[in-house]
Structure 1
Amino acid sequence: MIETIPSQQQKDTQQPETSGNIQPDSVQEAAHSELQHNAKEVETYSIENAPYCILPEREKVTLMILASFAAIISPMSSSIYFPAINNIAKDLNVSITLINLTVTTYLILQGIAPSLIANFSDIHGRRPAYLICFTIYIAANIGLALQSSYAALMVLRCLQSSGSSGTIALGSATVSDLSTRAERGKYIGYATMGVTLGPALGPVIGGLLDHFLGWRWIFWFLVILSSAFGATVAIIYPETCRAVVGNGSVPAPKWNRSVYQVVKSNLCPQKMFTGPPNYDTLQNRNKRRANPLASAMIATEKEAFFILIYGSLLYAGFMSVLSTLTSELQLRFDFNSIQIGLCYLPLGFGSLTSRWTVGFLLDKNFKREARRQGLPIVKNRQQEIEKFNIEIARLTITIPLVYIGALCLIAYGWVMEYKTSLAGPMVTLFFMGHCITGAFSSLNTLIVDTHRQSPATAVAANNLWRCLVGAGAIAIAAPLIDRIGIGWTATFIAFLWIFFSPIMWAVYKWGYAWREKSRLEEQERTSTTQGNREL
């Protein structure tokens, strides 16, 4: 039998079948309600599956490298100064102790200043924060190159530190803006490349400039270098702050756009954005006033407090070695400024290689722990850690590095004490730099992981603590070496690292529980506040 297919007109005239007490209007309402429900499900699905960052891989890596080399000015400004300390003291007719005091004040401001700029950048964007930092820094270096008094040197070094130090927090925040937790270990190698090269290249460049051109050319060199980086940031660096552009799909305000973006928007406005903006990827969308105490308040959290305390101890010991290396090499090997600068290279290269080895281990261990704890990893999707113990994933790598680094520090102290061949301290410095800066990177990654809404503020908190403690360590390192010798001084520092290492074990075991308790308390306070507002 051949069925007759009704025509479209017949279909239109047919009435929908009804059963029971359901009326045609009720059917239409039910269908409409189902369509709305399906639309909401599709919308929720699209929000949850939005890429964490819409930028291609090559562009993300390029931006991280640019942010990394913009941050080189902070550690380089500190280390480039060391080989010229003796000549600066002679020209300004002051003691070396007073010149060393400018190193201490530099570190103090290096700890305090990022607290002011980091919270500003988490709210208003990375680009304006970068431009403020470079403007202050360039002006300070011009003044340092022209000044001729100790008072001016002290004040301008503080200003120089204030301008440069914020770039470190901004570099780490850029990594957080562009990468998920699962791949952050890989990218942290790019982001901290400049921070690592600064201590390595600074003394070499400073020694050469001081020897051939005079110490004033150290600051003229920094003016030229920072002007080049500042111009590059102004021209091509786009806004990455997730509070401003989300995952990169939200148009940035005019004052957050680069010169290239402004020109492109005027010439080809239709090519500015390839897709619709996803406003649901914005973080901290409710603009609030910048709080300079925000980074200090992070230390009120139990887990963050322990991480910051131990990180500052590691940094203090590392800076004690870095600041006294010049005088120890001059005393024991009678080196000039060029030779002293070259001896900083093993320490710097050890730090540089750690960025790749430790970064690889951090990513690999994160994925291993994710499989063990049942956390799915999707490429370019952020992994929420409310139900994930990220403390184990990070500290499994950190803790062994600390113990190995402590042994390398002891070896360095005693080969210097007994004046062995130069190869002894150089080799031990390489491995100490590799392990301790690797531990720095891991702790820095953990503090960002647990504060993803304000990564620059979290890094600034880390910088605040370690620089203040490091400044105190530099002040007592040289007198301690004079009193008990470099061998026992290095042993004492390594003993402190090992003695306080249970702090890291406590975070390893109970950090997740502390973080979860804080999260639930914050949710309860937020719901209570909203309920009071509704009433």
Structure 2
Amino acid sequence: MATTVAAAHSQVATNDDSQASSTERGSKPNVLTVSHGDDHIQLEKAATRPDIHDVSQAHPTLLRTTTSGTTGPPFSIFTSTQKKFIVFMASWAGFFSPVSANIYLPALNPLASSLNVSSSLINLTLTSYMVFQGLAPAFVGSLADNMGRRPAYTVCFIVYIAANVGLALQNSYAALMVLRCVQSSGSSATIAMASAVVADVSTPAERGSYMGFTLAGSLLGPAIGPVLGGVLAQFLGWRAIFWFLVILAVAFLTIFLVFFPETARSKVGNGSIPPEGWNMSLMNYLAIRRIRREQMSDDHTPANTETTESLPKSKKRFPNPLASLVLLLDKQVAIILLYNALLFCAFYDVTATIPSQFAKIFHFNDLQIGLCFIPFGVGSMLAALVNGQFLDRNFARWCRKLDIQIKKGRDMDLRNFPIERARLEIAMPAIYTTIALILVWGWLLEINGPLPALLVILFFTSFSMSIAFNVTSTLLVDFYPTKPATATAANNFVRCLLGAGATAAVLPMIEAMGRGWTFTFLSLVLLVTSPLVWLNFRYGMKWREERRMKEEMKARMSVVEDGGESMSGKVKLGGEKDADAQKREQPVVEGGAPELAAVMKGDHGNGRDGKKM
């Protein structure tokens, strides 16, 4: 079997050598066309012939591929069932950050009494949580893009579990404040990584549906968190809240470590490269051990190590928190993030006022207030389920309009595709519906409106807001498919910092202006700033192309300055590739090496003929 695996690699390399003949074509003497099956890559030859691999590693957006056929490797080798499991786990992970923020709300009064501090000081723990909720993903997002998703998730949940144990055992306000910050740091990056996981396994044509399911967890947290917190605080005490989070996190981490595959394309490509080290799940590890034992028993020789040796060795980089902040300098991204943050402020202002205002109007206890969040949760979940279908269908409609064929399982070059319009056409109605509903919400509170009416408005507000959030998150991944965790971390940074300020200001505003005028002011802010979205709708494609050209120019200049001496890959003018270039290939193993394919998919129960061993 060892010979079979080695032969498979050799055959793939040989086929690639014969297919990837590099010749200069047409009337452009400075353009080199590299063919790989039905894929074609055109590169301008610099005077110093920079190394393409170096460029692609530093600037992944520089190399653009236009697929002209249905052959060649698929975007992801994960099956539909595997993708659903991956997205479910990412959604579950994304549930922890918002639920930790909101499950805590019904325990504010018991905590203040237990620690002998004022309610104002306890409320500061909410603000500090949101501040770190915005800061931490800037570090972890960069880590996830450089080191892989599994190491980043593992570190986050170890920190999160330790913080919750400390919170359950602490007896001082200082410990509460510090540990809440640590808890936020451990959980907040999971939302950014959820978007990154979706970008790893889904094409633009199917991304809307997967993003919808992924964001369901993060949107469900604020809705059911207060319900869970109210029940636990009412019957078991406030410490039970943190023990509950410990149990839930340990259950997740156990399943994650055993089954969740590495999806980062910088580590496993389309899933066809076996992971190594931290990036390896227990199922991957057992499959590799089984194959090595079979190799030794069949060949009576030490296990062949060509499989792991053929992987490209990526450089280990310390997480760069500035990577996500740099994205804010781009006008297109800044506009999207600013308006999304304003919507997020309104989202948190609505939820933050429910406990205090419902207690004053209806004299509810903590459990009753928690139950009032159920319509909010139902609206968020429903939006997550249906909005993905809206996005994918509108994407398909634009493809038909532009006479573009969607090839299932194949990535698409979005350079000449109006992805901004395809996405924002779904967001626009939701945004203006949200503005109207927030206005109605405020004046219903002002007149101490009937509870059923308030709950209905709460349901539709959460539904429309969640659609807008989903569209924005999906669009960010479309903009930065090679570094989605970093892009989503930038989104988290802006919206959480603004949300922290809005949450701290909303109750003083209600005391000064009244409920009706406070939410009227919020509605006017959203209405006045809504042209920002229209600017992206109108000029987004132009801005995106300008950004791409700047990135290409920067990449070329940096490689030329570094003194690259040969065409990369290393792709040579005669059509030959050296051994290093062959190692960088990410072939789909569909028949040449079943043993390797089993490792890639984590299937350690099938043999060479697909039968049970």
Same fold (TM over 0.5): yes
Deviations 1:266-319 (A, max 9, x none): 1245999xxx9999999x966654312111111011100101111110001111
- Secondary structure at the aligned position of 1:85 is classed as helix
Q: Which of 267, 271, 286 in structure 2 is aligned with 1:244?
A: 267
Matched with 1:195 is 218
In structure 1, C-alpha distance between the alignment counterparts of 2:469 and 2:369, rounded to whole Å: 25
How is 1:353-392 mapped onto 2 (pairs within 5 angstroms)? Answer: 353-392=382-421
Q: Which of 53, 56, 73 in structure 1 is aligned with 2:79?
A: 56
Q: CA contact under 8 A between 2:19 and 2:37: conserved in structure 1?
A: no
Q: CA contact under 8 A between 1:314 and 1:497: conserved in structure 2?
A: yes
Matched with 2:182 is 159
Q: CA contact under 8 A between 2:274 and 2:308: conserved in structure 1?
A: no
Q: CA contact under 8 A between 1:298 and 1:458: conserved in structure 2?
A: yes
Q: Label 1:128 to 1:424 Cα distance change in 2 as closer, same or farther (>3 A).
A: same
In structure 2, C-alpha distance between the alignment counterparts of 1:286 and 1:271, rounded to whole Å: 32
Of 104-113 and 513-522, the range deviating more from structure 2: 513-522
Matched with 1:511 is 540
Matched with 1:217 is 240
In structure 2, C-alpha distance between the alignment counterparts of 1:257 and 1:407, rounded to whole Å: 49
Q: CA contact under 8 A between 1:409 and 1:494: conserved in structure 2?
A: yes
Structure 1 unaligned segments of length 5 or more: list them: 1-34
Within the alignment, does 1:473 sit opposite 2:513 as a pair?
no
Shift, 1:189, TM fit: 2.3
Matched with 1:417 is 446
Of 225-234 and 371-380, the range deviating more from structure 2: 371-380
In structure 2, C-alpha distance between the alignment counterparts of 1:529 and 1:172, rounded to whole Å: 30
* Number of residue-to-residue matches in the alignment: 497
Higher relative contact order (CA 8 A, sep 6+): 2
In structure 2, C-alpha distance between the alignment counterparts of 1:499 and 1:271, rounded to whole Å: 67
Matched with 2:466 is 437
Shift, 1:80, TM fit: 0.3
Q: CA contact under 8 A between 1:200 and 1:348: conserved in structure 2?
A: yes
Q: Which of 459, 479, 495 in structure 1 is aligned with 2:488?
A: 459
Matched with 1:43 is 36
- Secondary structure at the aligned position of 1:192 is classed as helix
Q: CA contact under 8 A between 2:394 and 2:423: conserved in structure 1?
A: yes
Matched with 2:9 is none
Q: CA contact under 8 A between 1:61 and 1:190: conserved in structure 2?
A: no
In structure 2, C-alpha distance between the alignment counterparts of 1:220 and 1:483, rounded to whole Å: 39
Shift, 1:193, TM fit: 2.1
Of 64-73 and 37-46, the range deviating more from structure 2: 37-46
Deviations 1:25-79 (A, max 9, x none): xxxxxxxxxx976564873437953101101101101110011112211110011
Q: CA contact under 8 A between 1:242 and 1:281: conserved in structure 2?
A: no
In structure 2, C-alpha distance between the alignment counterparts of 1:507 and 1:218, rounded to whole Å: 42
Q: CA contact under 8 A between 2:141 and 2:486: conserved in structure 1?
A: yes
How is 1:127-146 mapped onto 2 (pairs within 5 angstroms)? Answer: 127-146=150-169
Corresponding letter in the other structure for 1:245: V
Shift, 1:201, TM fit: 1.5
Q: Which of 496, 506, 520 in structure 2 is aligned with 1:491?
A: 520
- TM-score (norm: length of structure 1): 0.89
In structure 1, C-alpha distance between the alignment counterparts of 2:213 and 2:384, rounded to whole Å: 8
Deviations 1:331-361 (A, max 9, x none): 1111111101100111111111111221111
Of 352-361 and 119-128, the range deviating more from structure 2: 352-361
Q: CA contact under 8 A between 2:387 and 2:467: conserved in structure 1?
A: yes
Within the alignment, does 1:208 sit opposite 2:226 as a pair?
no
Q: Label 1:120 to 1:129 Cα distance change in 2 as closer, same or farther (>3 A).
A: same
In structure 2, C-alpha distance between the alignment counterparts of 1:525 and 1:307, rounded to whole Å: 24
Corresponding letter in the other structure for 1:393: A
Q: Which of 325, 349, 355 in structure 2 is aligned with 1:320?
A: 349
- Secondary structure at the aligned position of 1:148 is classed as coil
Q: CA contact under 8 A between 2:437 and 2:457: conserved in structure 1?
A: yes
Shift, 1:377, TM fit: 1.2
Corresponding letter in the other structure for 1:73: F
Within the alignment, does 1:256 sit opposite 2:279 as a pair?
yes
- Secondary structure at the aligned position of 1:182 is classed as coil
Matched with 2:367 is 338
In structure 1, C-alpha distance between the alignment counterparts of 2:418 and 2:404, rounded to whole Å: 10
Within the alignment, does 1:116 sit opposite 2:109 as a pair?
no
In structure 1, C-alpha distance between the alignment counterparts of 2:473 and 2:293, rounded to whole Å: 40
Corresponding letter in the other structure for 2:398: E
In structure 2, C-alpha distance between the alignment counterparts of 1:228 and 1:289, rounded to whole Å: 29
Q: Label 1:141 to 1:286 Cα distance change in 2 as closer, same or farther (>3 A).
A: closer
How is 1:221-232 mapped onto 2 (pairs within 5 angstroms)? Answer: 221-232=244-255
Shift, 1:465, TM fit: 0.4
Corresponding letter in the other structure for 1:113: A
Q: CA contact under 8 A between 1:211 and 1:338: conserved in structure 2?
A: yes
Corresponding letter in the other structure for 1:132: V
Q: Label 1:445 to 1:285 Cα distance change in 2 as closer, same or farther (>3 A).
A: farther
In structure 1, C-alpha distance between the alignment counterparts of 2:320 and 2:20, rounded to whole Å: 40
Q: Which of 101, 116, 119 in structure 2 is aligned with 1:78?
A: 101
Q: CA contact under 8 A between 1:84 and 1:207: conserved in structure 2?
A: yes
In structure 2, C-alpha distance between the alignment counterparts of 1:170 and 1:305, rounded to whole Å: 20
Matched with 1:305 is 334
- Secondary structure at the aligned position of 2:174 is classed as helix
In structure 2, C-alpha distance between the alignment counterparts of 1:336 and 1:163, rounded to whole Å: 31
Shift, 1:372, TM fit: 2.2
In structure 2, C-alpha distance between the alignment counterparts of 1:265 and 1:430, rounded to whole Å: 49
In structure 1, C-alpha distance between the alignment counterparts of 2:466 and 2:507, rounded to whole Å: 22
Q: CA contact under 8 A between 1:110 and 1:463: conserved in structure 2?
A: yes
RMSD value, Cα: 2.3
Corresponding letter in the other structure for 1:45: D
How is 1:25-44 mapped onto 2 (pairs within 5 angstroms)? Answer: 40=21, 43-44=36-37
Of 436-445 and 41-50, the range deviating more from structure 2: 41-50
In structure 2, C-alpha distance between the alignment counterparts of 1:286 and 1:531, rounded to whole Å: 21
Q: Label 1:269 to 1:172 Cα distance change in 2 as closer, same or farther (>3 A).
A: farther
Q: Which of 178, 194, 206 in structure 2 is aligned with 1:171?
A: 194
Matched with 1:4 is none
